[in-house]
Chain A
């Protein structure tokens, strides 16, 4: 490559750049330009249907933190992270270990557990709405039929447990994915290590605890990041399952708030501010992760 030392833009380079130009333009515009534009909107005074770009400073952001609905949404997102992420990881790990036991029909079980993950959130939310319906829904009628009436509940109509119901449903959807990631991790451990551990006296639970699980840090981390980001971005599911209710805002989350404020209430600047905040939250998780994984690639 010393040949083109003085000439940065050789003909070859130009032709090569042509390859990626369309993508660069598209991504450059639709990601970065639009992010910037959104930030601009967030510091403007645009309310109502006609765009307006008078810059008025960070007022919107201040309003955000005084808005109880915003605070509820933020709290709900955090609750989601705290409940949903560890549960999915734990269940996925558990299933992966179960499947590691030389099961007959391992592939069938794996495909069953993974199926929900492939379905759209709109579908699964519709299904769970049916599950959770207190009058004729699947769960309550099932409890009734097998004599467990006392377990019946209002589920998503009960503001106190609605969010927990949401968490359960999304754990159901994502556990197949975490199981898959952990399974791949477990399979990548050489058989000789397992044999060595067995010869040395480790069996069953002990074997997993001391030899297998400690080596699952990398897959766990990548699954963790995916789940965290989902917990922040979740929109489709809640929109369809609960619409943010019951009792007003009990299952509101930031993306839903943003959507309603922007497209229903036409508070565009406010909505843009929420969106920017959301973006920053995601960056906080993604940037360190990308940095860590690119460093690991160099090892």
Chain B
């Protein structure tokens, strides 16, 4: 049972915060993703778990073992943590053959030669690189090198896999392919995995749970579903999902016993269930968020009198494979909507409806109110 626990983990570089107060629990066999833009601290956290950097505050447990404690002065070296790591540039040794590269951790632990041979062969088979065992890294393609790096990590049967953007250097097509393979592999091997990426698509498709970081601070931890449907702030809401969520500044007003979002160019009335949560915000400025996929052409006859309908002008249609991106405008407020098809023409006025269930409202100072 290999879980990972981080408690109040903090790392500083001089006066700059790399990560601060990270608290999380990773379950056994979980595929856990650290997600965020460059410089958010996700790699720092990963390196701290690996023991390659020391923590300034906080504690880390791997399994039942306390491997890092800044307060108690405990720091177990990386070699003894039972972890295996895959780096963004693969870090395979150019002067060794593929076989020797994969065998490296075993040779260091002085495993018997026969056993090494067997394990390396098995690992190579698993990854489909058996025929490359005698080659040198410079003779391999990027995808092949990545597998060698994986092989080196797997062959040790570690307690934990740590991966730092392993797909970043692959071309787009290979990336999608490898993504699936990696996930399948992880399920098969059943090893607790921590995976770092800045690509939210990767995170959403692969993760059991995601932690979103920004500037060293944790923004939200949850399943992909949680993050998508219940983002806790505008950053997470905007980071997850492509194309990005539409954000509109509004004021929450009360009109004829209904709560409305007033964006000056248009108004939307909200259903009664939302009342209790929003009561305290009446008269306040808020941010409304709605994803492009949750805006659709109105089929109802009520037109703009409907509570959730807004009249918009169609500026641009972008075909994106299976659907269309509509760039619209309500007055001067831009909207992006994803639809399967439309008969509207450019410059035409269209009535769009927003899905009530999917409207997000955020406090202007980054908190969030309701779904």
Contact = CB atoms under 8 A, between A and B. Distances in A.
Interface of A: 190, 192-193, 195-203, 206, 210-211, 214-215, 217
A190 B108 contact: no
A200 B52 contact: no
Contacts of A190: 89, 91
Contact of B78 (A192, A199, A210, A214): A199
Contacts of A193: 91-93
Contacts of A195: 47, 50, 52, 78, 85, 87, 91
A203 B50 CA distance: 15
Contacts of A202: 79, 104, 108
A190 B88 CA distance: 12
Interface in B117-175: 149, 152, 156
B84 interface: yes
B152 A200 contact: yes
Given A199-B52, A199-B83, A201-B79, A192 B91 contact: yes
A202 B79 CA distance: 7
B97 to A, nearest CB: 12
Given A195-B52, A199-B52, 16 more contacts: A190-B89, A192-B90, A193-B91, A195-B47, A195-B85, A196-B87, A196-B92, A198-B79, A199-B79, A200-B104, A200-B105, A200-B152, A202-B104, A202-B108, A203-B77, A210-B107
A49 to B, nearest CB: 59
B89 A192 contact: yes
B87 A192 contact: yes
B78 A215 contact: no
Contacts of A215: 93-95
A186 to B, nearest CB: 14
A199 B50 CA distance: 8
A194 B50 CA distance: 13
A199 B93 contact: no
B177 interface: no
Contacts of A214: 93, 95-96
Contacts of B50: 195, 199
A214 B91 CA distance: 15
Nearest to A216: B95
A199 B84 contact: yes
B109 interface: yes
Contacts of B96: 214
A197 B84 contact: no
Interface of B: 47, 50, 52, 77-79, 83-85, 87-96, 104-105, 107-109, 149, 152, 156
Contacts of A199: 50, 52, 78-79, 83-85
B87 A200 contact: no
A33 to B, nearest CB: 43
B118 to A, nearest CB: 19
Contact of B105 (A192, A201, A203, A211): A201
A206 B108 contact: yes
A247 B27 CA distance: 82
Contacts of A196: 85, 87, 91-92, 149, 152
Name the residue among B84, B87, B90 with the largest chain A CB count within 10 angstroms: B87
A206 to B, nearest CB: 7
Contacts of A197: 93, 104
A201 B109 CA distance: 7
Which 8 A/B pairs are nearest by Cβ-Cβ distance? A200-B105, A192-B91, A196-B91, A201-B108, A214-B95, A192-B87, A201-B79, A193-B91
Nearest to B88: A192
A202 to B, nearest CB: 5
15 contacts: A192-B89, A193-B93, A195-B47, A195-B52, A198-B78, A199-B50, A199-B79, A199-B84, A200-B79, A200-B156, A201-B79, A201-B108, A214-B93, A214-B96, A215-B95
Contacts of B78: 195, 198-199
A210 B156 CA distance: 18
A195 B109 CA distance: 17
A199 to B, nearest CB: 5
A211 B93 CA distance: 7
Contacts of B77: 198, 203
Contacts of A198: 52, 77-79
A195 B149 CA distance: 13
Name the residue among B92, B105, B149 with the largest chain A CB count within 10 angstroms: B105
A210 B79 CA distance: 16
B146 to A, nearest CB: 13
Nearest to A299: B138
B108 A200 contact: yes
A211 B91 CA distance: 11
Nearest to B104: A200
A192 B367 CA distance: 39
B1 to A, nearest CB: 22
A200 B108 CA distance: 8
